[in-house]
Chain A
Amino acid sequence: MNFLKLSHLLNPLKINALSSSLPATKKISTTVMSNFYLNSLKLNAKASQLASTTKLPFSDADDKSNNERAENISRAMSYYLEKMAERESLMKFKTEEFEIGKRHLAKMMGENAETFTQDDINRSIEYLLPSGLFNKKARPFLKHPEDYYPKSKLAAFGSDGRPLHHLFYTGNPDFYQIIYELTQKYLNLNRLEDAMNLIKGRMKTIHKTDEADLNTRINLTGSVWIDRNKLNVKFNMKIDELSYNKFIIMLQKLAEHSLSKREETFIGQFIVPFEPPIKLSDIPALLKDETGRPYQELEVRQRTAIVKLKLYEGNGKIKIKAPEGNFNINFFDSLTQREQLLFPFKVVDKINKFDIEMEVNNGGMSCLSKAARYAISKALCCFVSADSIEKLRLAGLLTSDSRPKERKKPGQEGARRRYTWKKR
C-alpha cells in the first residue's frame, strides 16, 4: 500500500523513525489507491487544496468542535503509536547490547573493535563456541537486532481510524486488490469486445481462434506463471495454495481473452520466463577408452546402494558385477526390477543400442535397480539429443530419489515390521 500520506500525517506527531523505514511503493496498488483517493477527493470541493495540504479525505482531525467522539475513533491509531514507541525503545536497548557484545568479542579476539564486521563476528563465534548442532538456526549467533526481530508493520488506517484500503476488512487486501483489478480488466475487455463485435456486426463467439485474435491475444509461449512463493515475496503477502490456484485460473482466463494484449503490462507482472531445469552446458563430455570407444562413467548412491556404471555404445550387452559374482540382467529376479533398467532406453527409443557395465554393492534389489535406472538415464544424456533429454526429464528420470533409509525402530524387527507375536 501507499503510505506517502501517512508519513505526512505522522510528521506532526514527531515520529521520525517511521519515515525512514517506509518501503518502496508498489506498482500495483499505487494506481488503484490513487483512484481510491481521487474518487473520494472528487466529492470535495477543495480537492486541489487538500492534495497540497496534507489532509486525509474526510478526516476530522481538525474539526473537533462537531466531533464529540474524536477520541474514540482514533483509539486504533493511538494503540498503534503506543506499540511503535514500545518497539522503538526495545530496539534501542537491544542495539546498545549488541554494540557492547561486539566490543567484548573484538577484545577477546585481539582485534580492533571499530573495524570489526559481521563476518568477523561470525568467524570468532564459530571459533569460540563451536557447535555440533545440526540445524544452523540452533547455533549461537550475534547479530544486529534489526536482522532478527520481526519488522514492524505500518498502520493500515488513518488517524480517524478509517482504513486506507477499500478491501481492508477482507484481511488480505493486497492479494484481493490484484484479483479485483483482474476481474475489472476482464470485464472491461468483455465490454470492449462486445462493442467491437457490434461494429463488425457479428455475434460474439467464445474462445474462437481467428487469425485476427492471434494478433490481439497475448503470447505466453516460453513463459510460466509465477511461483506461489515468488508471488508472496514479490507482493509481500501470504496466500495459501487454494487461493493461488484460483488466482492462476483467473489469470489464465484473462490471458486467453481474445483482446488480452491490451493488458500485457498487467499480465506481465505474473509471468516468469521458462528456464529449462537441465542445462546442456552442465552435461559432461563423453570419455574414450583405449580403443577410442566413447563411454560415460558414473557413480550413484541411493539409500545404502552403490552403483558404478559404465555406458558404452553397443548392442545391448549387460554385465553386472556383484560381490557374489558376475551376472547379466538376470541378476534382478523380478521383471519389475528389470524394467527399471529398460525404462530410460525405452524413453529415448534406443533399446539394445548400449552396453552396460555395472558394479553394484550393498543395498536391496529394488533400491539397486532404481539407482541403476538413475545412473543410466544420467549417462544417457551424454549420448542423446536435447529433445531426448527433455523427454527423460519429463519422465522423471533425471531426478534422484533423495529419501534416506528409514531407521530401525526399537521393539520392532525393522523400520515397519514387528516381531512375530504368538498368543501362546
Chain B
Amino acid sequence: MLNLTKNLPIIINKLTTPQSQKLLKFTSNIHSTAGNRQNDQNLKTSVVPQKSKIINPLKHEDFFQINELVKLEDLFKARCHYGHHHGLRCPWMNEFIFGTRITTDIIDLDQTIPLMKRALNFIAHIAFRKGVILFITRYAQHIPLIEQSALEVGEYSHCKPWRNGTFTDSTRRFGSVIRLPDLCIFFHTHEKLNEAHGALSETAKMLIPTVAICDSDSDPSQITYPIPANDDSLVSQQLYTRLIKEVIIKAKKKRQELEEQGYVIQYE
C-alpha cells in the first residue's frame, strides 16, 4: 500500500456529498419503522415457547443490526480508502473511485458503506441458516489472520494455492460427493499479481454467491456482493475480519436463542 505522507490533505472534510446524506436518511428510516421495533421487542420479551411463533428473518430490513457495526470513521482510520496506482485500475471500478490524488486512486467510502452493509447482511443470513462459509485469500501476509478468524467462528478457509477443479470437479478431487460452500468470501481477489483468483470463475459456475473486497485493480463484475475497499494493508484486513466475525457470531447466537425460545423459522 502506498504510504502517503503528511502533505496529503485530509479528505474527510470534503465527504459531505449528497449520496452520504441520502444514506443517513435511509438508515434512520429503518430504525424508526414501528414494525421492526415491535418485532425486536417481541423476540426479546417472549420467554414461553409457543407453536404459533413464526419468524421470517427476511422480512426484517436489518435483522442483525448491521447498520450499527459499520462506521465511516473506522473505515477511514483503517485506510480502506487507499486504492492502487491509477494505471492498475480496472475500468469497472471507476464508479467506486472518488478521485485520483497524485496517481493514486482514492476509493469513495460513501459508496463502500452501503455495499458493505448489504454484504454483511447477506453473510449474516447465510450464517443464520447454517450455511458453509469459505474464507479465501492468497495474500501471504494476511493468511494467518484469515485462517485464524475462520477457525474462530467455526467456518472454513482456503488460503493455499488454488487447484483448478476444486469446486467444478469436487467429486474426483475429494474422493466422494461433498457439500460445496454456500458462500465464498474473498479477502483478496488476486491469486498472483494481476491474475484473478481461480475460485472466482468456479464459484460463478457452481452457483455459489460471493462477497469480495474489491480494490481499484480487481474486477467486481462477477462478484455478487462487492465491497470496494483497500485489500492490501493489514489494518484494513483486520477491520474486515473483525466485522465479518462479529456478524457471523451474532447470527449464530441469534439462531440459538430463537431455537431456545421455541421460535419456528420460516422463509416462505
Binding site for B on A (CB under 8 A): 32, 35-36, 39-40, 43-46, 57-58, 60, 63, 65-66, 73, 75-76, 79-80, 83, 153, 155-157, 160-163, 166-172, 176, 180, 183-184, 187
Contacts and interface: CB of A to CB of B under 8 A. Distances in A.
Interface string B248-265: 010011001101100011
B178 A35 contact: no
Residues of B contacting A: mostly: mixed
Contacts of B66: none
B163 A166 contact: no
Nearest to B130: A58
Interface string B154-170: 11111110010010000
B212 to A, nearest CB: 17
Interface string B135-161: 000000001100110111111111110
A216 B202 CA distance: 47
B78 interface: no
Contact of A45 (B154, B178, B256): B256
B266 interface: yes
B134 to A, nearest CB: 6
A168 B174 CA distance: 9
Contacts of B181: 169
B130 A167 contact: no
B179 interface: yes
B156 A168 contact: yes
Contact of A66 (B150, B153, B252, B266): B266
Contacts of B147: 166-167, 180
B18 interface: no
B132 interface: yes
28 contacts: A36-B151, A39-B151, A43-B249, A43-B256, A60-B130, A66-B265, A75-B177, A76-B176, A76-B179, A156-B174, A160-B179, A161-B178, A162-B179, A166-B147, A166-B151, A166-B156, A167-B147, A167-B157, A168-B156, A169-B158, A170-B159, A170-B160, A171-B166, A171-B174, A172-B160, A176-B160, A180-B147, A184-B144
Contacts, number: 95
B175 interface: yes
B44 interface: no
Given A45-B256, A183-B143, A170 B158 contact: yes
A169 B143 contact: no
Interface in B204-244: none
B173 interface: yes
Nearest to A74: B179
Given A39-B151, A43-B256, A83 B158 contact: no
Contacts of A76: 176-179
> Most chain-B CB neighbours within 10 Å: which of A76, A155, A184?
A76
A60 B260 CA distance: 14
B143 A163 contact: no
Given A43-B252, A80-B176, A163 B130 contact: no
Given A167-B147, A171-B163, A187-B144, A36 B134 contact: no
Interface residues of B, number: 38
Contacts of A155: 176
A6 to B, nearest CB: 14
A162 B132 contact: yes
Contacts of B257: 45
A162 B154 CA distance: 11
A171 B176 contact: no
A232 to B, nearest CB: 17
Contacts of B163: 171
Contacts of B132: 161-163
Contacts of B259: 63
A73 B179 contact: yes
A119 to B, nearest CB: 35
A166 B173 contact: no
A169 B134 contact: yes
Contacts of A176: 160
A423 B44 CA distance: 100
A157 B179 contact: yes
A160 B174 CA distance: 17
Interface string B108-135: 0000000000000000000000101010
A-B CB proximity, top 10 nearest: A161-B179, A40-B154, A79-B177, A170-B160, A169-B158, A66-B265, A183-B144, A166-B151, A43-B252, A76-B177
B156 A163 contact: yes
A162 B143 CA distance: 22
Given A153-B175, A163-B179, 15 more contacts: A35-B151, A43-B154, A43-B256, A45-B260, A58-B154, A63-B259, A65-B264, A75-B177, A76-B177, A162-B132, A166-B150, A170-B158, A170-B159, A183-B143, A184-B148
B244 to A, nearest CB: 15
B252 A58 contact: yes
Contacts of A172: 160
A166 B160 contact: no
Nearest to B171: A79
Contacts of B249: 43
B44 to A, nearest CB: 15
B144 A57 contact: no
Given A39-B152, A66-B266, A166-B151, A171 B157 contact: no
